[in-house]
Amino acid sequence: MKLTFDQNLFTQIGLDSGSLTMLGGVTHRFLEPGQYRGVVYRNGENLADFYVNVDKNSPVAQANIDLAAFEPTQAAAATSTTGSTCNCQRESAKAGTKFEVNPKGYAVFHVSAGAGGYAVRVSKAAEDPKQQNPFDSRELKGDDIFSAVILRPGTYSATNTLGGKEKGKIIVGYPKIGKTAYRPPSPVKVACSERGFEPGKLELQPGQAILFHAAVPTRITLELTKADDGPADRAAHVRSGWKKAALPDKKKKKA
Amino acid sequence: MGYTDNCDLYAAVHEDGINLVAQHVMRQRPSWFNFATQYVSDHLDLACSPVAHTIDVTDYKNPLFKVVSPVPILGADSPPVGLNFCVQLVKAEVDFYPGNIFTLPAVLNPPLPQQHLAMHVQICGGMDCPSEFLNGFLPTPTSPGEATNVQPTQEVVPPTRRLLCFCLDAYLVAHVGVQIVSGKPSLVGIVDSVDVVGIKPKGLSDNVNCYLKTTFELLLKEKLIFPISTMLFDIPLLSLATITAQLTPNPPIPNNPSIDDNQLKIFITLTVAP
Amino acid sequence: MSHITIAASAKAFQQLFNEVENNFSFSKSDTANFGPFSASYSVSVHLSGGNLQLNNDNTIELQNVDIVFGTLDFKLCLDLPGFCIPSFCLVPDPWNGCLVGFPGFCIGGPICADLNLSGLTSQITDLKASLAPKYYIDPARLPGWTDLDAELNGHSNQWQIYIDPVLVNVAPIDVPATIDNILVNAITNAIDNLFPSWLPGWAVDIIMAFLGPIANLITDLLGITTSIAEWLSNLLGNLFGLLSLLETAIADYFASKYPLYQFEDPFPILPASGGLIPVKIPIRNLAATIDSQEMIVQANVGA
């Protein structure tokens, strides 16, 4: 058997809305119709540009923009470093790719594979900077939403690096094998205001999403402060090597 | 009533079967039943009776006759003279109790007693009568005083053109016992009495009867002895390490082996190791 | 009246039968693909115990004979192309939909578990047979040979008495309920062995939680609607056809492979001695019957 999944899912601990990875995404609404130009950054470096046509007549309510698809070696990256053959088949987005969305719809910036570290800046194609109405994932505001998923059990500290007085606390529980296959509960909403996070403390299950609504300029970082490696007596899943599973000695039926 | 009501293994041989077995033995081991001098053995047409035998006997170069020395002419030593002869057992038949195949001579006190068998054998024999040899016979001269030092003169056996044959009917009464031979319980015949019909005077008859009784006793003990397992065709049970077989004792079996109902019967009890 | 009569009591017959039973062996291996999974087995079987009954209708009946799988190596491979842990919502949209799903992870190729099922048993629930004497002529015997030639060359004719079954019924393989845990552990171990060494324990636990109880996973994947024990018994016994194979092998063995009783014909009553050939007696008209008390073998001496 061959297990195939993206290693980054389990090795990247902590999230940053300004440096998106597979476990985090940003949702933004372009309220004004017009042509927009976007730039994808990876670790601060300009990676590619793209265009978004915000059109009242567009039937598209949601434009999914996979930032990992702008990688020049996207196709290779999708399989070479991760070996992924998951159901996240992506189409390679060439520089200059055009997207379309209705002004009442949403643009979703996410990362489908790889190490991430992406940010995106989108602004209207206008000469007047006041009319450019820029959006930058490194500074969320308005109706922007940062969606985060934490897999690694433990206690996290949530911080709005652009403001907010209080830090939030998130506790992600340790997974348990129940009577049925585990599926994460519904997402939890958190408001980001000047006061900090509401609610300020969350108890989540692994894989349960948090939706940070940015009411004020926001850049969320989630940092592991205390890892939870499970109960001390948890069964160790270690390679057992080859071992023949045998029936216990059966007692003779007859004397 | 079952055969094994009082035992675990039972085997019986009917006298008709035994008589066929006797014929097979005589045909396949003719040298046990035919005796002759070398000359007669080399000239089969001289025998008193043709020697019945299977093709295997000659194919495997088995002898038809047991070669024996000529009958010496008593007193003749210049040279010693011996006569060719042969003795053949040409017929043998067995009658298990109750007797119904042949009638025993009165001297054997018929009828055949319980648990006994009778045997009728026909023995034919003949000896050379070398009258022509004597006509031209010249004794070998001997020197006085040298008797102790001279080499014995080779025996002269006159060439034979025919034997003067005769046949005798002999009857014997016997029973069957069990002896351990080579570690195996075996059936052995024990001769009780013998009578050769038609021999007189009584002294001669007694001698012949004694000779034959001794002969049969020895033959039965030396050669015609059969492991009990043979009667059971070597049934595999008898060779199992977990099984001990023994003749069923009395009681419940009063005679074991038993001769009755024209059969020879044996009864065996098995003990199975846990 | 027959020249020769041999009888064996029920007790003696039981001992004869034990020899036949103890010498039975059956080996078989097979591999088959059943769609969502494939399986293979290698088995060797022997018989043990049972109740033997002699009947007055000239038959014997055998019941409750253990069929012991002295060796039963079983290998189960779950063939899982495209089986994926379903994705879950990674980036939910504000209206409780899902914008970005957890990409999930997939399991491809076979996962195999080796199970040593040695010691499992089944039973001959019923075997009814009569006795069948047969005259065996060694095919290697040359036409020109005498019986003595044949004996000396090791190709004698034989009288053989076989147990000739008219029916054989074998019960389903008795798989204990503990097989559930054994199979679950074997599959769990197989999965554990797949995790890359870099994968932290908590991640393994998350994946295992996603997989859910392995027992459920197994039953779902294998389409098991009964217990695992029943499923395995059915797989081996019916889908692989082991029960039919065993019934045929047992019937064939008793009927023609291992005689209850056999002896050479002609039967040697005096061994070769002093250069003299053995004395052999031809046996004719061999018959074997049985009643509730004993087996009776009768024959005549040939002329």
Tell me, yes or no, whether A118 and A182 share the same domain: no
How remote is the C-alpha of C102 from its chain's centroid? 49
Give the pLDDT confidence of B41-76 residue by residue, as tens digits.
Answer: 999 999 999 999 999 999 999 999 999 999 999 998
C17 has pLDDT over 90: yes
A252 has pLDDT over 60: no
Tell me, yes or no, whether A148 and A217 share the same domain: yes
Give the pLDDT confidence of A112-164 residue by residue, as tens digits.
Answer: 888 899 999 999 887 777 777 789 999 999 889 998 889 899 999 999 999 86
CB atoms within 10 A of CB A178: 11
CB C29 within 8 A of CB C43: yes
C143 has pLDDT over 50: yes
Share of chain A above pLDDT 90, in %: 40
Residue among B210, B268, B264 at smallest CA distance from B244? B268
Name the residue in chain C with its Cα closest to that of A206: C206
Tell me, yes or no, whether A120 and A158 share the same domain: no
Tell me, yes or no, whether A115 and A46 share the same domain: yes
- Kindly state whether residue A241 falls inside one of the protein's structural domains: no
Tell me, yes or no, whether A151 and A55 share the same domain: no
Tell me, yes or no, whether A89 and A184 share the same domain: no
Choose among C3, C12, C293: nearest Cβ to B270: C12
Last residue of a domain, one of A138, A162, A195: A138
List the domains of chain B with CATH numbers.
9-74+82-132+159-272 (3.15.20)
**In angstroms, rounded to a whole number, what is the distance separating the alpha carbons of residues B129 and A228?**
127
Residue among C47, C100, C175 with most chain A CBs within 10 A, to mutate:
C100
Name the residue in chain B with its Cα closest to that of C264: B233
pLDDT of residue C136: 96
| Mean pLDDT, rounded, of chain B | 92
**In angstroms, rounded to a whole number, what is the distance separating the alpha carbons of residues A137 and A119?**
6
CB contact, 8 Å: C172 with chain B? no
B188 has pLDDT over 60: yes
**DSSP E strands, chain A:** 2-4, 15-16, 24-28, 34-42, 45-54, 62-66, 97-101, 106-110, 118-124, 135-136, 145-149, 154-160, 168-172, 188-193, 196-198, 201-204, 209-214, 220-227, 245-246
- Kindly state whether residue A239 falls inside one of the protein's structural domains: no
CB contact under 8 A, C106 and A253: no
C54 has pLDDT over 80: yes
pLDDT of residue B223: 86
CB B101 within 8 A of CB B60: no
What average pLDDT score do residues C137-152 get?
Answer: 93
Last residue of a domain, one of A104, A138, A172: A138
Tell me, yes or no, whether A122 and A201 share the same domain: no
Share of chain A above pLDDT 70, in %: 80
A83 has pLDDT over 50: no
C106 has pLDDT over 80: no
Task: Name every chain A residue with its beta carbon within 8 A of the beta carbon of C202.
Answer: 152-153, 174-175, 227-230
Tell me, yes or no, whether A29 and A85 share the same domain: yes
What average pLDDT score do residues B236-252 get?
Answer: 92
CB C219 within 8 A of CB C140: no
- pLDDT higher for A239 or A123? A123
Choose among B2, B8, B263: nearest Cβ to C12: B8
Give the pLDDT confidence of C207-220 residue by residue, as tens digits.
Answer: 888 777 888 878 88
Alpha helices per DSSP H over A95-153 = 129-132
What total number of domains does chain A contain? 2
pLDDT of residue C82: 38
Task: Name every chain B residue with its beta carbon within 8 A of the beta carbon of C2.
Answer: 14
Residue among C99, C128, C155, C117 at smallest CA distance from C250? C128
Domain containing residue A78: 1-138
Work out the pLDDT band at C253, boundaries 50, 70, 90: very high
Would you tell me which residues 213-272 of chain C have a C-beta closer than 8 angstroms to some C-beta of chain B? 261, 263, 267, 269-270
**In angstroms, rounded to a whole number, what is the distance separating the alpha carbons of residues B157 and B137?**
12
Least-confidence region, from A47-56, C182-191, C268-277, C288-297: C182-191
Tell me, yes or no, whether A94 and A180 share the same domain: no
Give the pLDDT confidence of B81-98 residue by residue, as tens digits.
Answer: 999 999 999 999 999 999
Residue among A105, A95, A99, A121 at smallest CA distance from A41? A121
C275 has pLDDT over 60: yes
Give the pLDDT confidence of C193-241 residue by residue, as tens digits.
Answer: 777 778 888 888 888 887 778 888 788 878 888 888 999 999 999 999 9
pLDDT of residue A87: 39
Last residue of a domain, one of A89, A121, A138: A138
**In angstroms, rounded to a whole number, what is the distance separating the alpha carbons of residues A189 and A208?**
11
Tell me, yes or no, whether A113 and A149 share the same domain: no
**DSSP E strands, chain C:** 4-9, 26-33, 37-48, 51-54, 60-63, 65-79, 83-85, 89-92, 98-101, 105-108, 110-116, 121-136, 157-170, 261-265, 267-270, 279-281, 283-290, 294-301
Cα A193–A196–A198 angle (5° rounding)?
80
CB A240 within 8 A of CB C113: no
CB contact under 8 A, C109 and A152: no
DSSP chain B: --TTTT-SEEEEEEHHHHHHHHHHHHHH-GGGTEEE-HHHHH-GGGSSS-----HHHHHTT--SSEE-PPEEEEEEETTEEEE-EEEEEEEEEEEESSP-SSPPPGGG-SSPPTT-EEEEEEEEEEEE--HHHHHT--PPP--TT-TTTSPPPPPB----S-EEEEEEEEEEEEEEEEEEETTEEEEEEEEEEEEETT--SHHHHHHHHHHHHHHHHHHHHHTS-EEHHHHTTT-GGGG-TTEEEEE--TTT-SSSSEEETTEEEEEEEEEE--
What average pLDDT score do residues C63-91 get?
Answer: 73
